[in-house]
Amino acid sequence: MRRTAQALLAGLLGAGLIAAGAGAGPADAQAPRALDRLDLKIGKALFDRAWVVPPASTKADDGLGPLFDARACVSCHPRDGRSPVSAGAGGVLEGRGPVLVLGQPDGAGDPVYGRRLQIDAVPGLTPEGILAVADTPTGDGRIARRPAPVELAYGPLASATGMSLRTAPDLRGRGLIEQVSAETVAAVAEAQPEALRGRIRHVPLPGGGTAMGRYGWKAAQPSLEGQISEAFFLDMGLSTTLHPEPWGDCTAAQSACRSAPQGREVEGEVEIADVLLSRVVAYVASLPVPAAAENPAGARLFAATGCAQCHQPALPTRDGGQARLFTDLLLHDLGPDLADTLEAPDARPAEWRTAPLAGLSDALARKTGLLHDGRARSVEDAIAWHGGQADAVRRKFLALSARDRAALVAYVSGL
């Protein structure tokens, strides 16, 4: 086993960052047992941990980079929630959380920059660029937003490379998404009106075959493990079993990046061993669904306008429970106004997985911005951007009386 797995688990206990409570099992990375409360505490500590650049004297937590966007999971998910999107002078985005996804129609990344534009790098390397946006008033009170990165270190992107700006979403309750069967989601799609009907995205599995995409703004990942593995790999440059390349997102064109120090000591090992990854996954999966305010009148309006056709208040889980997340987990075409320029396999630029609304009240309270790129400043603003298959629902919302519109907005704002 890679030395960081054992050393880090022991170090977290020794440093007092976690405490073994009554009934907790041993922090033995080799033990084949069910994850318990201690494991969740370890997962939380790993989620909050700031990884460092290799080589470091703290051998338990190095491996960051060579290119990265953040040093810790919590940097992009403050309080386990959605990341803020705030544009400063020149449209430069402040803080951590938003990322610029790069890709070509065949699913490959940019031939030079890879699958992300990383805004930070280990000493001796230059970050790939600065993340910025171009915001343009539309004349009806909305602000259109497109990614406009600056100071690209390796020249322009390839002509076939598309871009998609995406913010880190709320994580609370999202572990339940994996507990909803593909058959349930297919039945939801079948019951939707044809003009509004979404579709399941099928994504390839590492060992072959495909599975239903569940996680990410475009439903690109089939599991929570896959989503978190990709975040470690692309956002922090930390290798996992699913993404074993020790140089992270450095491409063959970035030779200095590929030869930079790595946080592993043995060829073939990874920087985030499965025993560590499983605890982070368990921690995220344990996060409860955010509480929603009771508002029966608003709920009726939410259903009557058709919002609930896609933002399904609850989906049944395999264990007989309910995932009260307000999503159908399907891709829907939301029209050209919300389209990015990223043409991916089985996901067109205007298609987005129905975003869960659970936790929206927290996003509004922290003024993170709404939608995938944070452009919307309010619930009304977000609804106004809905086009394509959602256009008829948007029109129904606008046709409501001022009193009913306010009631519906209050309901959504309380989720």
pLDDT digits (tens, 9 = 90+) for 267-293: 778 999 999 999 999 999 999 999 999
Rounded Cα distance between 364 and 370, Å, is 8
Taking Cα atoms as reference points, which of 119, 133, 126, 131 lies closest to residue 154? 126
Q: What pLDDT, on a 0 to 100 scale, did the predictor assign at position 268? A: 74
Q: What pLDDT, on a 0 to 100 scale, did the predictor assign at position 3? A: 45
Indicate whether 122 pLDDT > 80.
Answer: yes
Long-range CB contact pairs, 135-142, < 8 A, 24+: 135/87, 135/91, 135/375, 140/384, 141/381, 141/384, 142/375, 142/381, 142/384, 142/385
Indicate whether 131 pLDDT > 90.
Answer: yes
Indicate whether 294 pLDDT > 70.
Answer: yes
Per DSSP, helices labelled H in 215-345 are 224-230, 236, 255-258, 274-286, 296-304, 307-310
Q: DSSP state, 79?
A: G
Indicate whether 22 pLDDT > 50.
Answer: no
| Residue 7 confidence class, pLDDT cut points 50, 70, 90 | low
Residue with more model confidence, 44 or 27: 44
| Residue 57 confidence class, pLDDT cut points 50, 70, 90 | low
Tell me the per-residue pLDDT of 75-121, one tens digit each, with 9 for 90 and over.
999 999 999 999 999 999 998 999 999 999 999 999 999 999 999 99
Q: What pLDDT, on a 0 to 100 scale, did the predictor assign at position 2? A: 44
Q: What share of the chain has pLDDT > 70, as a percent? A: 89
Is the bond preceding residue 55 a cis peptide, omega within 30 degrees? Answer: yes
Q: DSSP state, 41?
A: H
Residue with more model confidence, 36 or 375: 375
Rounded Cα distance between 5 and 60, Å, is 7
| CB-count exposure of residue 213 (10 Å: 0-12, 13-18, 19+) | buried
Average pLDDT, the chain: 91
Predicted TM-score of the model (pTM)? 0.92
* Poorest-pLDDT segment among 5-19, 108-122, 182-196: 5-19
Average pLDDT over residues 397-404: 98
Rounded Cα distance between 83 and 369, Å, is 9
Tokens 């099992």 belong to 25
SS3 state of residue 43:
helix
Rounded Cα distance between 182 and 136, Å, is 39
Decide if 145 contacts 165 (C-beta within 8 A).
yes
SS3 state of residue 75:
helix
Q: What pLDDT, on a 0 to 100 scale, did the predictor assign at position 127? A: 97
Q: Give the type of residue at 99.
A: V
Tell me the per-residue pLDDT of 330-370, one tens digit each, with 9 for 90 and over.
999 999 999 999 998 899 999 999 999 999 999 999 999 99
Rounded Cα distance between 217 and 101, Å, is 11
| Residue 324 confidence class, pLDDT cut points 50, 70, 90 | very high
| Residue 207 confidence class, pLDDT cut points 50, 70, 90 | confident
| Residue 55 confidence class, pLDDT cut points 50, 70, 90 | confident
3-state secondary structure 199-252: ECCEEECCCCCEEECCECCCCCECCHHHHHHHHHHHHHCCCCCCCCCCCCCCCC
SS3 state of residue 262:
coil
Residue with more model confidence, 227 or 55: 227
Q: What pLDDT, on a 0 to 100 scale, did the predictor assign at position 59? A: 56
Q: What pLDDT, on a 0 to 100 scale, did the predictor assign at position 250? A: 96
In sequence order, the 6+-apart residues with CB closer than 8 A to the CB of 167 are: 82, 83, 84, 85, 97, 98, 99, 368, 369, 372, 373, 374
